[in-house]
Amino acid sequence: MNRSPHVAVVGATGAVGVEMLKTLEKRNFPVGKLTLLASARSAGKKLKFRGEELPVQTLTKDAFAGVDIALFSAGGSISKEFAPVAARAGCVVIDNSSAYRMDDQVPLVIPEINPGDVRLHKGIIANPNCTTAITLMALYPLHQAFNVKRIFASSYQAVSGTGAKAIEELRRQMEQVVRGEKATKEVYPHQIAFNVLPHVDSFLQDGYTKEEMKMQNEGRKIMHHPKFRASVTCVRVPVYRAHSVAVNAEFERPVTVDSARQVLKKAPGLQVVDEPAKNEYPLPLYQAEQYDCAVGRLRSDCALDNGLAFWVSGDQLLKGAALNAVQIGEELLK
């Protein structure tokens, strides 16, 4: 791998794409050259990187000549069509969509958990689902210590998880409601302002949503734990940025709050914020724009054997997307 790689960002104008640029710059990723790609709608638009205005170009099949690393965040159908083209052109694709996550030929990586899997790539590496990534930042260290059997969880997912248009939808609806007007809907099937929607992604035959099953399916692959079970309810909440997850986890080995806290304090990329007497627990408002996730509300689960309940919160545009992708890029350069 070129030590000063030519990096392309596909979907550069989107909610994740913009964070990719910021993260590459903030982490001093040794970008030799940067190519910004999006739809024809954005051609000619300029985005700032290291003080320079760079033009956005239209994504085409010959856009990847000379590119070493392509960070894709333009949706699953774009990844399906263009990621193999980019890989054939010789670059390593780091894909944010769900298109390749469960493909046996594609590693699915959280660098704090399974960095070694990066080496197994055949041109495409997948970034995990955002809710799964944030949950595993706390669950995996506990798994290493106590061996997790199963979890029950509910998510509280920010609108930015749906992209730039959903951020605008919440802002617009908030203003409409405050003005006493009827809230107009474009992105979600129901009003999201002053509401919560127990519906993220499409419904499967068994009643779960696709998003809900990602926790078990992707969790098994990332943790190398094929028996891991997860029953999840995913909920969209009127929060701009950062997802939170309430988790009840059952382990093979006995777990106490103190032993769990010791494990979590040492976990990379994770802060323990757990002083309920001082009203201190992780809050999405304060996790926005933070690289680390935060865990708190630790307590022995009163309804599970060897159970622990906790609350984890993290910026899904970062740890659930842009930061994790750039960290995978950093692994590639090691």
Restricted to residues 42-81, the positions that interact with ligand NAP (CB under 6 A) are: 42, 59, 73-76, 78
Strand arrangement, sheet containing 229-233: 229-233, 148-156, 243-251, 307-314, 293-300, 270-272
Region from 6-14, 26-34, 254-262, 303-311 binding ligand NAP, contact rule CB under 6 A: 6-14
Is residue 83 part of the contact set for ligand NAP (CB under 6 A)? no
**Cβ of 254: how many Cβ atoms within 10 Å?**
10
Region from 5-13, 62-70, 180-188, 245-253 binding ligand NAP, contact rule CB under 6 A: 5-13
Is residue 164 part of the contact set for ligand NAP (CB under 6 A)? yes
Going from the C-alpha of 167 to that of each of 12, 172, 195, 246, 293, the distances in angstroms are 17, 9, 15, 23, 21
According to DSSP, the residues that pair with 245 across neighbouring strands are 155, 312
143 is catalytic: no
234 is catalytic: no
CA dihedral 50, 55, 60, 65 (to 10 degrees): -50
Is residue 320 part of the contact set for ligand NAP (CB under 6 A)? yes
Is residue 317 part of the contact set for ligand NAP (CB under 6 A)? yes
Number of residues that bind ligand NAP (CB under 6 A): 29
Is residue 163 part of the contact set for ligand NAP (CB under 6 A)? yes
Nearer to ligand NAP, 127 or 191 (CB): 127
Nearer to ligand NAP, 155 or 316 (CB): 316
Is residue 304 part of the contact set for ligand NAP (CB under 6 A)? no
What is the DSSP-derived secondary structure letter of residue 212? H
Q: For the residues of 220-266, what is the DSSP string, one character each?
A: HHHHT-TT-EEEEE--B-S-SS-EEEEEEEEESS---HHHHHHHHHT
Going from the C-alpha of 247 to that of each of 96, 108, 259, 295, the distances in angstroms are 24, 22, 17, 10
Is residue 96 part of the contact set for ligand NAP (CB under 6 A)? yes
Is residue 209 part of the contact set for ligand NAP (CB under 6 A)? no
Distance, CA of 107 to CA of 32 (rounded, Å): 25
Report the residue closest to ligand NAP, judged by CB: 14
Q: How far is the CB of 237 from ligand NAP (least distance, A)?
A: 14
Nearer to ligand NAP, 21 or 193 (CB): 21
Is residue 39 part of the contact set for ligand NAP (CB under 6 A)? yes
Is residue 316 part of the contact set for ligand NAP (CB under 6 A)? yes
Short-list 157, 139, 156, 152, CA closest to 230: 152
Buried b / exposed e across 22-61, counting CB within 10 Å, b at 16+? bbbbeeebebeebbbbbeeebeeeebebeeeebebbebee
Q: How far is the CB of 199 from ligand NAP (least distance, A)?
A: 16
Name the catalytic one among 91, 130, 234, 293: 130
Site residues (vs ligand NAP, CB under 6 A): 11-17, 38-39, 41-42, 59, 73-76, 78, 96-97, 130, 160-161, 163-165, 316-317, 320-321
List residues with catalytic annotation: 130, 243
